A and B are shown apart, each in its own frame.
Chain A
């Protein structure tokens, strides 16, 4: 099941239909803090917004342009650092209102990407991925070596409420920061969306699909890649500026491979084939990391497992799955799928429960070995990982679950193909 994106011409009457979701999104953004008012929730929403912008900028390269940039976090970080310096300047009396900081970040991102792009834009897909990785490593090392500019291990921090007030707001409170961050995020997303509908945006799709042919249609593919790279750097830098506002600190960790890996995860899980995929991924992964991180130590391996499983069986990501099923739901053939899909549930539940059990116990063992506390529950069940019994149970659950899946999945896939067969154009 792969995601295909069909683009149609846009008659003016459906312009409204295109922009309705954006209006709804704006409404949602405005109203969210009223529904989820706690400090934790607001901070989470900000994080999601920043991650969404970053993931969208990453997908400009990956999903739209076919370029795998492993160093993308560099532009977020460098934009963020520039914004932090501007924030410091504002604290020192310069007139730089906090809402203008994302622009500073964008500027930092653009300039750095213009330089970085010169190095990488000529490379083909495989080499591109490797070079961007190398470039990112080099820049992380450089950042740590220049403490005056980048604050060494502690990074650069400043006070977002220490700048000039705008309309009586000083942006110190979380909710004021939320409105700045989310408005900018919405604007950035809208701009990136419009970009996909410009000639350059379409050209990047063409380069993704067939760079050679593009060369025979009058364009230099390397030049197209370079331009796209600069734009995606702009938006990544903007995300960095947003992060500067939200966290009031940027460190070398924000540039490194962890951040780069995180955005890759988000974009991929959400789905690279649609515009909204990265947003879905950003929201889900941020939620997962916040939620899982407090409950278990095993989230790193869950990350990896989810990643691998999605690559194997749902490479179009969540939005790909939605796209594969939306037409069926719309024309009513969706109910044909229910029986076979439902039959896969027991296998799913068992396999997941068993795997989670195994992982949790493994991590508990590791923490015990490291001197941590014994006893207590694994998640919510009393189980002692130092005895054999729970391991056997979990292993059996996993094996049976996988076996059930192996048996019930092919008919489910067959049902989907049968149901979609009637909807082909």
Chain B
């Protein structure tokens, strides 16, 4: 029996009113694979994430997680099933400290949930997981700083951390290195590689260096369609991809 793909999108359509944002999108992400989604702006990449994580309903099509149909489930159900995401526009708990942010991210999975009968500090596994994450993210020295006051790169690191700390097996990262310097980007990529060890990663990125560094497979989204999909070497040479990115000019130049 073939093991089902970690994430499978079949015939996914999404329109907002009269505007078609995604058309007949087919994507297969194998378990443990690092899969990048690239494409020009407005191609529908973030919308794709919104659909997978249950923020918007699909107009048509199905989404499967390890063979189970998760189409139309609520965002919190989907998280509990093992899909976590980060956001393109940093979305943290600004008034809580870095440490508390991580604790909140892990509470559900480590059994704390909605508990009101026990003090938070009594949950040792929770504290340990948050500490572990702090170290991995390199934020131990800023553990007590309110997230809203962090430097941008640290915020992006925490953004990734929030997605990971709950131990989800399928991680969706939305432009994790947006706005970062060369050095910060390198740090971020090392971090991503480390924390997604053994997990399935779906990442939207604009930085081609990051993409070719990290990805096992790449899908190219343009105008709501997947116009190419395959290992980096294939995608790199694909003329359709060049055209989509650079326009018809590229064809005349090559």
Contact = CB atoms under 8 A, between A and B. Distances in A.
A145 to B, nearest CB: 36
A231 B146 contact: no
Contacts of A217: 76, 79, 84, 104-105, 108, 162, 166
Interface in B107-128: 107-109, 112-121, 123, 127
A197 B103 CA distance: 12
Interface in A1-35: 4-10
A224 interface: yes
B96 interface: yes
A425 B142 contact: yes
Interface residues of B, number: 46
Q: Secondary structure at chain B's binding surface: helix, strand, loop or mixed?
A: loop
A9 B107 contact: no
Contact of B121 (A4, A9, A213, A214): A9
Contacts of B15: none
Contacts of B108: 217-219
A213 B149 CA distance: 18
Q: Secondary structure at chain A's binding surface: helix, strand, loop or mixed?
A: helix
Contacts of A208: 95
- Cβ-closest 8 pairs across A and B: A218-B108, A199-B112, A209-B93, A200-B116, A218-B79, A199-B115, A206-B104, A215-B75
Given A213-B91, A425-B145, A202 B119 contact: no
- Of the listed residues B85, B100, B142, B144, the one surrounded by the most CB atoms of chain A closer than 10 A to its CB is B100
B146 A6 contact: yes
- Of the listed residues A8, A197, A217, the one surrounded by the most CB atoms of chain B closer than 10 A to its CB is A217
Interface residues of A, number: 35
Interface string B117-151: 11111010001000000000000001111101100
- Of the listed residues A201, A219, A425, the one surrounded by the most CB atoms of chain B closer than 10 A to its CB is A219
A227 B116 contact: yes
Contacts of A309: none
A317 to B, nearest CB: 15
A199 B116 contact: yes
Interface string A207-235: 01110111111111001100100010000
Interface of A: 4-10, 194-195, 197-203, 205-206, 208-210, 212-220, 223-224, 227, 231, 425
Nearest to A209: B93
Contacts of B118: 198-199
Contact of B100 (A198, A202, A224): A202
B91 A203 contact: no
A216 B95 contact: no
A197 B93 CA distance: 16
Contacts, number: 118
A424 to B, nearest CB: 9
Given A197-B120, A213-B162, A218-B166, 16 more contacts: A4-B148, A6-B145, A7-B96, A8-B144, A9-B121, A199-B112, A202-B107, A206-B96, A209-B92, A216-B75, A216-B79, A216-B85, A218-B79, A218-B108, A227-B116, A425-B144
B233 interface: no
- Of the listed residues B97, B114, B166, the one surrounded by the most CB atoms of chain A closer than 10 A to its CB is B114
Contacts of B55: 216
B100 A4 contact: no
B94 interface: yes
B13 interface: no
Contact of A201 (B94, B116, B145): B116
B53 A216 contact: yes
A203 B53 CA distance: 21
B76 A220 contact: yes
A213 B76 contact: no
B120 A198 contact: yes
Contacts of B121: 9-10, 197
